Amino acid sequence: MEIKIVRDVLEANDQLAESIRKRLNRAGVRMFNIMSSPGSGKTTLLEKLIPILRGRGLRIGVIEGDITTTRDAERIQPLDIPVAQINTEPFGGDCHLGAEVIWPALDQLGIEQLDLVLIENVGNLVCPAEFDTGAHANLVILSVTEGEDKPLKYPLMFRVCQLAVIHKTDLLPYLDVDPERIETHIRQIRPEMTVLRASSKSGSGLTAIADWLIAFKGND
Amino acid sequence: MEIKIVRDVLEANDQLAESIRKRLNRAGVRMFNIMSSPGSGKTTLLEKLIPILRGRGLRIGVIEGDITTTRDAERIQPLDIPVAQINTEPFGGDCHLGAEVIWPALDQLGIEQLDLVLIENVGNLVCPAEFDTGAHANLVILSVTEGEDKPLKYPLMFRVCQLAVIHKTDLLPYLDVDPERIETHIRQIRPEMTVLRASSKSGSGLTAIADWLIAFKGND
């Protein structure tokens, strides 16, 4: 009984996510959903990536998802681009962004004026993977400080993503972590995954991420 | 309608958690529930902490929670103590350990022969905070690599815990992170929280955690 209800929620979400993708396609907008553990550096990555993407002539909007606070949105605001903050607390402290909160956030952003929407999902390697946001592709950010085994322990997250970013590589000299092994574990779960390494602190690898986002075509 | 169902699930969980605490009290066993983001170093902390606790004459059992894999349990096994691995995947990939999986895990451990049970919950700062496991106290582990703002962004997790461990302090020289500010943010959410700093790599702070666990009385 209980499982049936969850399935209905997921089915309803998937239908709305499809409508979101159609809406984005009509407007000529690409949307990417960025997921990770808490503290993997998603917001810092956005702070560094957005100026690069803007330099390529793209008009960008950001949807920030958090249970509570507008801290991440406030960090994006100085970049002077449209930001919509979703707090899932009024919805019961949801651990993910569902399509039902993305739809009104797109209204807030005004997608007619945009080329690209980046979603920063709630920091969580479990639940966000289960809910299609309507994005064209999913990204997972994995900080090297999280160790080598996360792809094996959170396989669904890696199964639903098209790009994995191994982040905070500037910290590798101080850790007993081998990025090769992280990459091997990612490919055990999803052999066709694009894996990029980056450090938002040093700037290394950021243009490769921008290139990937711009080149991404996927299925409309 | 949907919210009502979730509430019923939480109520049923809370009742079973109370039964677990009574069962533990009858057996003279203390149980602690350890929660955190993925990759905060929970398993490494257990690897270092358990020998210290055993040196104080405590008989320890561990419950390992993961969506899939037995990797963490395999790391605890060489310590030669009872370990029960819960994989939440058969239950639908649950993002937390509910009381209904803790009860049979206690049977597997054989609590009559134990003084202390340590639960390593699923790596997640959201859902595990909502589900009482029947433990006598909750611990949250926060790696310094996760930044300073997590207590503000995941307040429920910090509200339900009695001890916060600021972990991986050996990495502080390489980060723009001030542990004082982490502590300030923790106390904004829960002023009475005990906050300890530790590095499982250097060993610093581990005996203070052991002392806290041994001294913990709480309400039976």
A187-208 burial code (b ≥16 CB/10 A, e <16): eebbeebbbbbbbbbeeebbee
> What per-residue confidence (pLDDT) applies to B1?
38
* Torsion B65-B67-B69-B71 (CA) sign: negative
Alpha helices in B84-162 (DSSP H): 99-109, 150-153, 155-159
Residues 158-197 of B with CB under 8 A from A: 168, 170-171, 174-175
Domain assignment present for B220: no
Out of A146, A152, A170, whose CB is closest to B39? Answer: A146
- One-letter amino acid of B52: I
Domain assignment present for A57: yes
Longest dimension (CA), chain A: 52
Residue that wins the pLDDT comparison between A212 and A87:
A212
Q: How many CB pairs under 8 A join A and B?
A: 112
Q: What is the complex's ipTM, to 2 decimals? A: 0.85
Model confidence over A183-194: pLDDT tens digits? 999 999 999 999
Q: What is the overall mean pLDDT for chain A?
A: 93
Partners of B47 on chain A (C-beta within 8 Å) are none
* Each residue's pLDDT expressed in tens, for chain B with a length of 220 residues: 344 555 677 888 999 999 999 999 999 999 999 999 999 999 999 999 999 999 999 999 999 999 999 999 999 999 999 999 999 886 557 889 999 999 999 999 999 999 999 999 999 999 999 999 999 999 999 999 999 999 999 999 999 999 999 999 999 999 999 999 999 999 999 999 999 999 999 999 999 999 999 999 875 4
Tokens 């990937």 belong to which residue? A212
Instruction: Sheet containing B83-87: give its strands across.
Output: B83-87, B60-66, B116-120, B30-36, B137-143, B163-167, B194-197
Domain assignment present for A45: yes
Domain assignment present for A113: yes
Give the phi and the psi of residue B165 in degrees, each rounded to 5. Answer: -110, 120
For residues A89-98, average pLDDT = 78
Does the pLDDT of residue A158 top 70, yes or no?
yes
Query: Measured between alpha carbons, how far is B146 from B148 in angstroms, rounded to an integer?
Result: 7
Domain assignment present for A220: no
Domain assignment present for B163: yes
Please give the model's pTM, rounded to 2 decimal places: 0.90
> What per-residue confidence (pLDDT) applies to A128?
94
Query: Measured between alpha carbons, how far is B91 from A105 in angstroms, rounded to an integer?
Result: 32
Partners of B95 on chain A (C-beta within 8 Å) are 95, 124, 126-127
Tokens 């003084």 belong to which residue? B115
Q: HSE (CB half, 13 Å, CA atoms) of A24?
A: 29
Query: Measured between alpha carbons, how far is B154 from A122 in angstroms, rounded to an integer?
Result: 10
Model confidence over A104-152: pLDDT tens digits? 999 999 999 999 999 999 999 999 999 999 999 999 999 999 999 999 9
Domain range enclosing A93:
2-215
Specify the pairing of strand B194-197 against strand B60-66: unpaired
> What per-residue confidence (pLDDT) applies to A5?
55
- The domain spanning residue B16 has which CATH number? 3.40.50.300
> What per-residue confidence (pLDDT) applies to A1?
38
Residues 62-101 of A with CB under 8 A from B: 66-69, 71, 92-93, 95
Partners of B174 on chain A (C-beta within 8 Å) are 170-171, 174
Domain assignment present for B200: yes
Domain assignment present for A25: yes
Inter-residue contact B79 to B47 (CB < 8 Å): yes
The answer to whether residue A120 neighbours chain B at the CB level (below 8 Å) is no
Tokens 């998937």 belong to which residue? A14
Inter-residue contact B212 to B196 (CB < 8 Å): yes
> What per-residue confidence (pLDDT) applies to B91?
57
Tokens 């894996």 belong to which residue? A195
Task: Provide the number of structural domains found in chain A.
Answer: 1
The answer to whether residue A145 neighbours chain B at the CB level (below 8 Å) is yes
Partners of A66 on chain B (C-beta within 8 Å) are 153
